[in-house]
Amino acid sequence: MESRYLAGAWELNRRGVGPDQEKLDRVLVGGLLLETILEAPRGPLDPEICRRFIKNRLKHKLVTCLAGRVTLDHFRTLVNHLDRWLPRYYPLVLPSEAASGGSPEPLKVMPFRDPASHPVGNPLREEALDRWLAEGVRQVLPQRPHRKLNPRGLREFLHRTRGGCFRVKDFEAHFRIDRKTAWEYLKKLCAAGLLYHNGERSAAVRYCLADALLVVKASALRLKTAAALENLPRVRVQEVADWLIASGGDAFWVSQFPGFLKGPRRAEVLARLEVAGILETAGHWGVEQLLRLTRPWLQKS
């Protein structure tokens, strides 16, 4: 429920108040920040993780609460001022226990986004991929220059797949080549060790980036996920596995997990993944649970 002071501030913003605009903007941000922290009790997380989480939730609240109430230019101004106002208000309204709390080991946490969004961790081992593109690509890609089928274009495509499976027609569409040519190059890339074939036929054929170039042990994780989620359709199992691989081992909030899984079904899938030793709890923030892949599923540095 909207607090009365925020409702009043929205009304004054709607009317326009000239030189007092910035003061009212600070009231809006300060009030929403307080509400955000009160809605999320402290948890056993690193102080910097807490701060990032609050900031991202505050941005989310700005979108949901101010939509239709302020102009687009005014909204952009508010967002741009967050970095200046947050350090001023945050220490004043965050309970001291949360500020001094810590976690036993540093956690990389994916920024909060809409629950249907993809994870934003980096699943690729950049240095290993750079070495392959510098050394192994010469005998595979065309000798004559091609508009997109070159090391740079290949890197861009692999980043778009985020370590997940893709089809021949995805490769074909990205590089704007015919199906036969796409298949020939995919076969060469598999032989060269960049990709691997899932062993299926016809429409079920998928290609994936080799494990050595990923942060996660993807092949083994796919098999374990399929065994743990045998009650789900195969396409859904693949989406869950791809999502976990795309996380790059970063911790994530339950609300970020794939958008097609909701309510009891999401809880069931996460429970099965935890029982199978794929996921573990990394922390809590109020009712929010922080999860991550267990260490055995990550490649050694």
The pLDDT, as a whole number, for residue 76 is 76
The closest of 115, 93, 79 to 38, measured between CA atoms, is 93
| Residue that is written with structure tokens 């709890």 in the block | 281
Contacts of 4 by beta carbon, 8 Å cutoff, 6+ apart: none
The pLDDT, as a whole number, for residue 119 is 54
The pLDDT, as a whole number, for residue 114 is 41
Q: Give the number of C-alpha atoms closer than 13 A to the C-alpha of residue 152, restricted to the C-beta side.
A: 4
Q: What stretch of H or E contains 207?
A: strand 207-209
Question: pTM to 2 decimals?
Answer: 0.64
The pLDDT, as a whole number, for residue 102 is 43
Same fold, 126-212 and 218-297: yes
The pLDDT, as a whole number, for residue 10 is 47
The pLDDT, as a whole number, for residue 287 is 67
DSSP string, 227-287: HHTTTS-HHHHHHHHHHHHHTTT-BEEGGGS-TT--HHHHHHHHHHHHHTTSEEEEEEETT
The pLDDT, as a whole number, for residue 211 is 93
Predicted confidence (pLDDT) per residue in 173-225, tens digit: 988 889 998 999 999 999 988 999 988 888 889 999 999 999 999 999 999 99
CA 109 – CA 122 distance, rounded (Å): 12
Domain ranges of the chain: 4-100, 126-212, 218-297
CATH of domain 126-212: 1.10.10.10
The pLDDT, as a whole number, for residue 212 is 93
- Cβ atoms of 238 and 114 within 8 Å: the answer is no
Mark the ranges of the chain whose per-residue pLDDT is less than 70: 1-20, 38-50, 67-68, 89-121, 138, 142-147, 259-260, 285-287, 301
The pLDDT, as a whole number, for residue 18 is 52
The pLDDT, as a whole number, for residue 113 is 43
The closest of 66, 69, 46, 47 to 58, measured between CA atoms, is 66
The pLDDT, as a whole number, for residue 209 is 93
The pLDDT, as a whole number, for residue 5 is 44
Pick the CATH number of 218-297 from 3.40.190, 1.10.10, 1.10.287, 1.10.3470: 1.10.10
